[in-house]
Structure 1
Amino acid sequence: MNFNQIGQVALQLLTLFGLKVLGAILIWLIAQRLIDFALKLVRRAFRSQQIDPTLINYLLNIIGVTLKIVLIVAILGFFGVETTSFAALLAAAGIAIGAAWGGLLANFAAGAFLIVFRPFKVGDFITAGGVTGTVTELGLFTTSINTPDNVLTIVANNKIFSDNIQNYSANPYRRVDLVAQIHHDVKHNEAIALLKAKISQIPNVLQNPAPDVEIQDFNFAGPVLAVRPYCNNDHYWQVYFDTNKAIRETFNEAGYPVPEYRYTVNGSSAHAINNVIPPLSEIT
């Protein structure tokens, strides 16, 4: 046995394998750059056709995943792996994975239905799957929602599609719901008129429909006013906080007393108490 020849052959094989590995890495890096460049071109082409951003992101995800699968198959072919056998193996693996990960396929199907039925789009402010926020991306399996406290939340598409969806951006305006407590002695019609005038001056409050201020309820402190201005969804929180300030400023400027709970206690006379409670001599 000639160990020198064996060593030379082994060195040649390792060198060839190493060159193939380096070539595969180089192919992967170059192809990845080309895929990214192609996706940018496709995105630019879609935007020039005024296609909705939600649909653009969804299509780009599908194209990107497909191109990466083709790249992996090509690299395996570069190593001498029979791609036809790999394709059959990939199909069999796909069936097995699909059976094991039914939820993943359900999320994919739900994403397709969300694209078709369009209950919301990227940029809409929604409540879906128990999360409230602005939609930043609708992907193949998940939807990214940025909550008002700036937390990016990833929600499965199937959870969104199987639950109720509230789209606050679908209508041109929405209502801000607040309440204002007034004292028993305050004339409610006067308070309503003052509040309507003050709220109408708040920036971004719509005049059509005009703000609603009416008596909503009563409690021990007095009447409770429902204060409801209307605004565009983009200005909701600004109008919400400014309306709270307007309520306090209006009541302070009018000199209204601070609301307080009132109770009326009806007591019994001493004679009545004596009649109800017998003396100790009678008890004994």
Structure 2
Amino acid sequence: MENWVNDLNHILLQNIVPFGTRLAGAIVLWIVGGWVIKVVKALSRRGMAARGIDSTLIEYLESAIGVTLRVLLVIALLSLFGIETASFAALIAAAGVAIGMAWSGLLANFAAGVFLILLRPIRVGDFITAAGITGTVTEIGMFATTIDQPDNVRTVVGNNKLFADNIVNYSTNDFRRVDLTAQLAHGVDVHAAMAALKSRVAQIANVVQSPAPDVEILEFNAAGTKLVVRPYCHNKDYWQVYFDTNKTIMAVGGESGWPIPAPHQVMHQRQG
């Protein structure tokens, strides 16, 4: 019995206690390391922001710093348990080559992300259309870009697909054009209608004064004359100006007593 107790104590002292000590140290290292990573990311973000670095580049670099530090933390944890880090590094390199060959698309997304950051066709906060998606860019990550669509649906697009497609950036220029039409009935004074619309549309909130709104004849059809109504505004005000312009067209037509446009046909009866 005494020998069995001695063997048990020997096993505890030689194996379990050291393992428990390493495990406790690993837990502490993981918690402290995670806290240090957060602090380093916050300090790096603050430093880059103080130097006026673009917010998109800040997000990208912060993400890269976080991933790198997390990998180093995992290597430190493995080293704590006696695993040779040199062998582990070689294993990571070999695995990286294998994964790179198998997941070439992932590396293509990473390379495209680098070009998106360097060339800056888009930035965080821009309203764009690309890869069949229209919305506001919320994040440009290492492998994918996150876009919030106008209906509040979040979409994640691979950087390579985004970079390979045509990118329409609505936020780059100071203003954009709103395209609407106004159908006039036969008998309405076209020039008076154009002057009334141009005056009232210019008074809509957030419509820029330069360039001034365009009101011109677009076409002649069976219902009468169709006008094009084109105010200009900042991208953030686009939908407000769009809907207010429609309301203004309706209001001007009601105040001026314009008849409801309808197709007209003229029939000639031939005497038999």
Query: Is TM > 0.5 for Structure 1 vs Structure 2?
Result: yes
Counterparts in 2 of 1:254 and 1:99: CA distance versus 1, 3 Å: same
Structure 1 residue corresponding to 2:101, chosen from 99, 102, 105? 99
User: Offset at 1:265?
Assistant: 4.3
Q: Please list, as runs of the form range in 1=range in 2, the aligned pairs for 1:81-100 lying within 5 A after superposition.
A: 81-100=83-102
The SS at the match of 2:156 is strand
Alignment match of 2:128 (pick from 121, 126, 129):
126
Normalization by structure 1: what TM-score? Answer: 0.90
Amino acid at match of 2:48: F
Cα distance between partner residues in 2 of 1:5 and 1:216: 100
1:277 paired residue number: none
Q: Deviations over 1:244-281 (max 9, x none)?
A: 11000000000000111223345566x5xxxxxxxxxx
Aligned to 1:255: 257
User: Does 1:227 find its partner at 2:229?
Assistant: yes
CA drift at 1:134 = 1.4
Letter in 1 for 2:230: R
Match among 6, 15, 27 for residue 29 of structure 2: 27
Q: Which amino acid in structure 2 is aligned with residue 103 of structure 1? A: G
The Cα shift of 1:127 comes to 1.0
Distance 1:8 1:246, change over 3 A: same
Q: CA deviation at 1:11?
A: 3.8
Shift of 1:241: 1.0
CA distance in structure 1 between the aligned counterparts of 2:129 and 2:6, rounded to whole angstroms = 71
Change beyond 3 A, Cα 1:265–1:11: farther
How far apart in 2 are the matches of 1:20 and 1:230?
Answer: 66
Q: In terms of Rg, which structure is larger?
A: 1
Q: CA deviation at 1:6?
A: 5.0
Which letter maps to 1:198? R
Q: Aligned pair in 2 of structure 1 residues 96, 267: CA closer, same or farther (>3 Å)?
A: farther
Deviation at 1:38, TM superposition (A): 0.9
Residue type of the partner of 1:22?
A
**Distance in 2 between the 1:73 and 1:257 partners?**
78
Aligned to 1:182, the other structure's residue is in SS state strand
- How far apart in 1 are the matches of 2:90 and 2:106? 21
Partner of residue 215, structure 1: 217
CA distance in structure 2 between the partners assigned to 1:25 and 1:207 by the alignment: 63
Report the number of matched residues: 270
**Could you list the per-position Cα deviations for residues 169-214 of structure 1 after superposition, in whole angstroms to 9, with x for gaps in the alignment?**
1111110011111101112111111100110111111121110011
SS in 1 for 2:147: strand
Larger mean CA deviation between 193-202 and 213-222 belongs to 213-222
Deviation at 1:4, TM superposition (A): 4.6
SS in 2 for 1:153: strand
Match of 1:166 in 2: 168
Shift of 1:102: 0.9
- Residue 184 of structure 2 is matched in structure 1 by 182
Which residue number in structure 2 is paired with residue 113 of structure 1?
115
Q: Cα distance 1:14–1:260, how it changes in 2: closer, same or farther (>3 A)? A: same
TM-score normalised by structure 2 residue count: 0.94
Paired residue type of 2:87: S
Corresponding position: 1:55 with 2:57:
yes
- Matched to 1:128, the amino acid is A
Q: In the aligned structure 2, how far is the partner of 1:232 from the partner of 1:204?
A: 8
Q: 2: distance between equivalents of 1:156 and 1:174?
A: 28
How much has 1:136 moved relative to structure 2? Answer: 1.2
Counterparts of 2:90 and 2:187 in 1: how far apart (Å)? 83
State the partner residue of 2:42.
40
Task: Extract unaligned runs of 5+ from structure 2.
Answer: none
Q: Partners of 1:266 and 1:144 in 2: how far apart? A: 63
State the distance in 1 between where 2:206 and 2:163 align: 33
